[in-house]
Amino acid sequence: MNYELVCGIETHIELATKTKIFCGCTTEFGGAPNTHCCPVCTGQPGSLPILNRKVVEYAVRAGLAVNCTINNNSHMDRKNYVYPDLPKAYQISQFDEPVCENGYIELDSGKRIGITRIHIEEDAGKLVHENGTTYIDYNRGGVPLIEIVSEPDISSPEEAREYAEKLQLIMRYVGISDCKMQEGSMRCDVNLSLRPVGTKEFGTRTETKNINSLSNIVKAMNREIERQEDILESGGKIVQATMRYDANTDEIYPMRTKENSDDYRYFPDPDILRFYIEPEFVEKTKSSLPELPSAKLRRYIDEFKLPETTARDIYKYRRVSEFLDKAVAMGASVKNTANMIIGGIYKTLETEEDKENFAIKTSAEQLSELIRLIDEKKINKNKGQEALAKMLDTGKAVSEFIKAEDTQGMSDDELRAICEAAVSANPDAVSNIRAGKGKAINVIFGYIMRETRGKADMGKVNKIINELIG
């Protein structure tokens, strides 16, 4: 039988607020165990939560960025369950009045993946298993999260990946989180079921938890689809379960089965007042949103006329795209800037994370200055690349590496004279070229570059040499 996939994703994103959701403790990642804690985030008897206003603001920002409507009236609920990393035995979350509802993300194909809701909640602590003992670190407890719940609109692992990738990029663009899956600041839970093609009813679903990279979303889903297909093909029934994907072995296995659905006994948290999100605030937030990734990509292709691959290589890192936009705004040409970034700066940034962080020693101002020299043909690209490499290495200004004499214009007559000298100084090379050995021209070029200290316009040089040699 042929099956089709029905899939929805729940994404938890840690918000980049300075302090936790209900107390003044720092949200900084790491730190010695239980040092970013206070009576509130460790649930000490008698302590009370105070909702961090910034968390609500960030959630509104996130919601608007994925086309959600904002509920002006909202409140916090208690989700009751027992686990050692949850010090109050309830998580303060939202049940029936989430901050955002009814949004969507558009995939490249034009298909929209619906977003059911976005709510705010607190993160739990972390269990650490060492030497046969379990320790608890509550540093992460009370770090603010948003949970973004998609509709079951996803119908392939590739769509799931694209959805998660787009979501990640949007949230990075609006600046609410760094969304690092490896560090856990973005975590995806994939709900997945199969049904015979053409049927309407949903099959029994499983939930694969805490997938820690985009590529693992695809891998984990493929394993789970295979597993469910095998069961269904052999006439078996899918049991509702929480699955765990092991990226090291590429295997999937159930963590626990759910015979009864969990009863979290949600009820409004009496310690936190209902809150009202003013429509004016929503409007203000909407107008403060930056250009979103899809618009930026379109602009790079349609207005900047960048090749699609180049445009994508830049837009997928928020800081890089901001860098490009800034350099261009200062007068650098789009094409040369993009080429300098991809051909120059990216060479020094090895990993995806390096590119994402984009911690480079030069500024958009400096790059723009350098590129204008290239644009105006005051120096050639090679010279520009060399200077850029030094700038990236030392953090020093363009003027340190491009001297005034480098940029003094060279007349066509001067250039022709040097070219003639090059031809007459290298008779062997000339005869080789005439004999059809094209590579020999490099000897001539090398001579010219040496003589001009790299500032010759190679386009013109080519033309002159062709005339001279014929």
Partner 1 sequence: MKELLTTLSTKLKNREISSVELTNEYIKAIEAENEKINAYVHTTFDYAIECAKRADDMLKAGDASPLCGIPMALKDNICSDGHLTTCCSKILDGFRPYYDSTVWTKLKREGAVLLGKNNMDEFAMGSTSESSCYGAPKNPRNTAHVTGGSSGGGAAAVAANMAAYTLGSDTGGSIRQPASYCGVVGLKPTYGAVSRYGLIAYGSSLDQIGPITNSVRDASLVFDAIKGVDINDQTSVDHEYGNITSQLTGDIKGLKIGVAEEYFEGIDKETKESVERALAFYEANGAELVSVKLPILKDSLPVYYIIACAEASSNLGRYDGIRYGYRAGDYTDIDDMIYKTRSEGFGKEVQHRIILGTYVLSSGYYDAYYKKACLLRNDIIRKFDEVFDVCDVLIAPNAPTTAPTLGYSSKSAVEMYMSDICTVPVNIAGLPGISIPCGKDKDGMPIGMQILGRKFAEKTILNTAYFYELNNKNVIGEYEGGVNL
Beta bridge mates, 19: 26
For the bound state, the minimum distance from the C-beta of residue 91 to partner 1, rounded and expressed in Å, comes to 11
For the bound state, the minimum distance from the C-beta of residue 260 to partner 1, rounded and expressed in Å, comes to 10
What CA–CA distance (Å, rounded) separates 458 from 470? 17
Please give the C-alpha separations between residue 211 and each of 120, 152, 254, 313, in angstroms, as whole numbers: 20, 18, 14, 24
For the bound state, the minimum distance from the C-beta of residue 17 to partner 1, rounded and expressed in Å, comes to 18
Pick between residue 89 and residue 425 the one whose CB is nearest to partner 1. 89
**Spatial CB neighbours of 359, under 8 Å, sequence gap ≥ 6:** none
Residue 311 CA from chain centroid, whole number: 15
Give the 3-state secondary structure of 165-209.
Answer: HHHHHHHHHCCCCCCCCCCCCEEEEEEEEEEECCCCCCCCCEEEE
Pick between residue 16 and residue 272 the one whose CB is nearest to partner 1. 272
Q: What is the dihedral of CA 179, 185, 186, 188, to 10 degrees?
A: 170
What CA–CA distance (Å, rounded) separates 35 from 443? 65
The CB density around residue 115, as the number of other CB atoms within 10 Å, is 27
Beta bridge mates, 73: 276
DSSP 380-412: -HHHHHHHHHHHHHH---GGGTS-HHHHS---H
For the bound state, the minimum distance from the C-beta of residue 391 to partner 1, rounded and expressed in Å, comes to 49
For the bound state, the minimum distance from the C-beta of residue 205 to partner 1, rounded and expressed in Å, comes to 19
For the bound state, the minimum distance from the C-beta of residue 261 to partner 1, rounded and expressed in Å, comes to 8
Pick between residue 22 and residue 447 the one whose CB is nearest to partner 1. 22
Pick between residue 263 and residue 413 the one whose CB is nearest to partner 1. 263
Pick between residue 48 and residue 247 the one whose CB is nearest to partner 1. 48
Residue matched to tokens 């013109």: 460
For the bound state, the minimum distance from the C-beta of residue 77 to partner 1, rounded and expressed in Å, comes to 10
Please give the C-alpha separations between residue 36 and each of 12, 31, 46, 60, 284, in angstroms, as whole numbers: 21, 7, 19, 26, 33
Pick between residue 48 and residue 255 the one whose CB is nearest to partner 1. 48
For the bound state, the minimum distance from the C-beta of residue 10 to partner 1, rounded and expressed in Å, comes to 20
What CA–CA distance (Å, rounded) separates 135 from 59? 32
For the bound state, the minimum distance from the C-beta of residue 78 to partner 1, rounded and expressed in Å, comes to 5
Pick between residue 132 and residue 427 the one whose CB is nearest to partner 1. 132
Helix (H) or strand (E) holding 102: strand 100-106
Pick between residue 108 and residue 263 the one whose CB is nearest to partner 1. 263
Pick between residue 97 and residue 224 the one whose CB is nearest to partner 1. 97
In 3D space, the residue among 201, 180, 204 whose CA is nearest the CA of residue 254 turns out to be: 204
For the bound state, the minimum distance from the C-beta of residue 141 to partner 1, rounded and expressed in Å, comes to 11
- The CA angle 352-162-256, to the nearest 5 degrees, is 95
What CA–CA distance (Å, rounded) separates 357 from 354? 5
Pick between residue 44 and residue 199 the one whose CB is nearest to partner 1. 44
- How many alpha carbons fall within 13 Å on the CB side of residue 129? 1
Extract the tokens encoding 233.
Answer: 């093909």
The binding site for partner 1 (CB under 8 A) comprises 39, 42-51, 78, 80, 82, 84, 87-90, 134, 136, 263, 265-267, 270-273
For the bound state, the minimum distance from the C-beta of residue 137 to partner 1, rounded and expressed in Å, comes to 13
Helix (H, G, I), strand (E, B) or coil at 3: strand
Pick between residue 48 and residue 425 the one whose CB is nearest to partner 1. 48
